[in-house]
């Protein structure tokens, strides 16, 4: 069964990079552009993991994470924060909120896969079997 | 009262961080140009992200030519470098690059005791404009080059003494 991953980021670029990184793996990617949309998608899709940006309009990542942890149906979903802010206090702050891990932007795609792979079992998609060779009668 | 933080060299920090952002996200080698003249653009795209807290306020601006902004966007989205790309995608990529620059600076400031928050990015486009700030605001302009394309980062920052 494919892993269901929710990417919450106001930047379409980052969501696209996340999708591109995960393309070789057997997973379903859901997307949301802010925390409010992210909560709605989380309720509907029950993802296996959430990749969550911090600074977003409408509802930021910290608020979404707080609401997620208050919801008995959603609080067990592991969250990896994607943040452009690597400061010591910021890291301590988001760690206290109960995130599984965090990834600082800028990041390489293999760093993202490494972090996600430590939380959920990512499996490479099976490649299609080669077409049968034609055999002369 | 304006207070400097000698422990944070903003020029040194931004020089290193921009090179890292370009290398990591775009696989592009950006080179700081020491004492470089600000590049001139016939059409400019500028990303801006503000930051603010009790002891510090300011903004980071990333200035690029429209052609180079298109090239960076193509690189980030995995498209051919000369592909014409819509403004929405360019705005998003340049906004995200500026966000990474400002987020890094914010973190460095927080580590020096200047707690602050960053805004979401905004994009300015035009053929001729300058960004002005009051006289008591520290102003840093850093010039870079990639493969013959000049671009610049501008930082406006003010430290406030709290009582």
Q: Where does the pLDDT of residue B142 fall: very low under 50, low under 70, confident under 90, or very high at 90 and above?
A: very high
pLDDT band at residue B59 under the 50/70/90 scheme: very high
Neighbour tally for B67: CB within 10 Å: 14
Contacts of A35 in chain B (CB under 8 A): none
B-chain CB neighbours of A89 within 8 Å are 110-111, 115
Cβ contact A87–B102 (<8 Å): no
* pLDDT range class, residue B5, cuts 50, 70, 90: low
pLDDT at res. B1: 44
Q: What is the pTM of this model?
A: 0.87
Q: What is the C-alpha to C-alpha distance for residues B28 and B47, in angstroms, rounded to an integer? A: 18
Structure confidence at residue B152 (pLDDT): 96
Query: Do residue B89 and residue A89 have CB atoms under 8 angstroms apart?
Result: no
Q: How far is residue A126's CA from residue A113's CA, in Å, rounded to a whole number? A: 17
Q: What number is the average pLDDT over the span A82-109? A: 85
Q: Are A134 and A125 in contact (CB under 8 A)?
A: no
Contact of B38 with B141, CB cutoff 8 Å: yes
User: pLDDT value at position A136?
Assistant: 47
Helix axes A35-45, A61-70, angle to 10 degrees: 30
Cβ distance of A10 and B120 shorter than 8 Å: yes
Q: Which residue has the higher pLDDT, A1 or B125?
A: B125
> By mean pLDDT, which of A1-5, B33-37, B67-71, B122-126 is the weakest?
B33-37
A3-135 fold:
Rossmann fold (3.40.50)
Q: Which one is predicted more confidently, B30 or B133?
A: B30
| Extents of the domains making up chain A | 3-135
pLDDT on residue A128: 59
pLDDT at A20 over 90: yes
| Beta strand A49-53 pairing with B149-159 | unpaired
Q: Between chains, do A12 and B76 touch, taking CB under 8 Å as contact? A: no
**B16 pLDDT higher than 50:** yes
Which residues make beta-bridge pairs with A50? A6, A79
Does residue A44 surpass a pLDDT of 60?
Answer: yes
Residue with tokens 């029950």, as numbered in its chain: A46
Yes or no, beta carbons of B120 and A56 under 8 Å apart: yes
Residues 83-112 of A with CB under 8 A from B: 83-90, 105-108
CA distance B62 to B151: 8
Q: Do B104 and A84 touch (CB under 8 A)?
A: yes
- Mean pLDDT, chain A, rounded, equals 89
Mark out chain B residues that contact chain A at CB-CB < 8 A: 20-21, 24-25, 76-78, 89, 92-93, 95-96, 99-100, 102-104, 106-111, 115, 117-120
Min mean pLDDT across A129-133, B56-60, B93-97, B136-140 is at: A129-133
Mean pLDDT of A84-105: 83
CB contact under 8 A, A17 and B76: yes
Q: Dihedral sign for Cα B104, B109, B113, B119, please.
A: negative
Please give the span between the terminal C-alpha atoms of chain B, in angstroms, as a whole number: 11
Residues in chain B within 8 Å Cβ distance of A83: 103
Residue of B nearest to A90 (CA): B107
Can you give the pLDDT at residue B81?
75
Average pLDDT estimate for A88-115:
88
pLDDT band at A131; cut points 50, 70, 90: low
Task: Please list, in sequence order, all residues whose beta carbon lies within 8 angstroms of the beta carbon of residue B139, skipping any fewer than 6 positions away.
Answer: B133, B154, B155, B156
Beta carbons of A84 and B99 less than 8 Å apart: yes
Please tell me the predicted confidence (pLDDT) of residue A137.
47
pLDDT exceeds cutoff 90 at A94? no
Q: Provide DSSP, A63-113.
A: HHHHHHHH-TTTTTS-EEEEES---HHHHHHHHHTT-SEEEESS--HHHHH
Q: What pLDDT, on a 0 to 100 scale, did the predictor assign at position A15? A: 95
pLDDT category at B94 given cuts 50, 70, 90 is very high
Residues of A in contact with B13 (CB under 8 A): none
Which of the two residues, A37 and A88, has the higher pLDDT score?
A: A37
Q: Is the ipTM of this complex over 0.95?
A: no
Give me the mean pLDDT over the B97-102 stretch. Answer: 96
| Residue in B closest to A60 by C-alpha | B120
Instruction: Write out the H or E segment, with its range, that includes residue B59.
Output: strand B56-65
């Amino acid at each position: 069964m494919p892993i269901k991953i929710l990417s919450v980021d106001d930047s379409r670029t980052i969501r696209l990079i996340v999708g591109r990184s995960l393309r070789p793996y057997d997973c379903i990617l859901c997307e949301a552009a802010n925390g409010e949309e992210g909560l709605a998608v989380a309720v509907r899709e029950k993802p296996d993991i959430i990749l969550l940006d911090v600074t977003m309009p409408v509802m930021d990542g910290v608020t979404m994470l707080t609401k997620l942890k208050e919801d008995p149906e959603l609080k067990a979903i592991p969250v990896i924060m994607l943040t452009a802010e690597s400061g010591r206090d910021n890291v301590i702050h988001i760690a206290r909120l109960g995130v599984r891990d965090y990834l600082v932007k800028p990041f390489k795609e293999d760093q993202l896969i490494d972090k996600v792979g430590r939380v959920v079992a990512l499996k490479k998609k099976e490649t299609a079997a080669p077409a049968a060779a034609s055999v002369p009668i | 009262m304006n207070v400097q933080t000698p422990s944070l060299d903003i020029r040194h920090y931004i020089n290193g961080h921009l090179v890292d952002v370009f290398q990591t996200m775009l696989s592009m080698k950006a080179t700081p140009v020491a004492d470089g003249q600000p590049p001139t653009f016939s059409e400019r795209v500028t990303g801006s992200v503000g930051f603010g807290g009790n002891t510090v306020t300011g903004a980071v601006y990333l200035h690029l030519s429209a052609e180079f902004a298109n090239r960076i966007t193509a690189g980030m989205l995995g498209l051919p470098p000369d592909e014409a790309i819509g403004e929405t995608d360019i705005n998003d990529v340049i906004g995200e690059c500026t966000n990474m620059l400002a987020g890094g600076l914010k973190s460095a400031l927080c580590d020096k005791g200047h707690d602050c928050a960053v805004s979401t990015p905004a994009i300015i486009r035009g053929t001729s404009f300058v960004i002005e700030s009051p006289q008591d605001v520290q102003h840093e302009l850093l010039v870079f080059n990639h493969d013959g394309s000049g671009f610049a980062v501008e930082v406006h920052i003010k430290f406030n003494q709290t009582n």
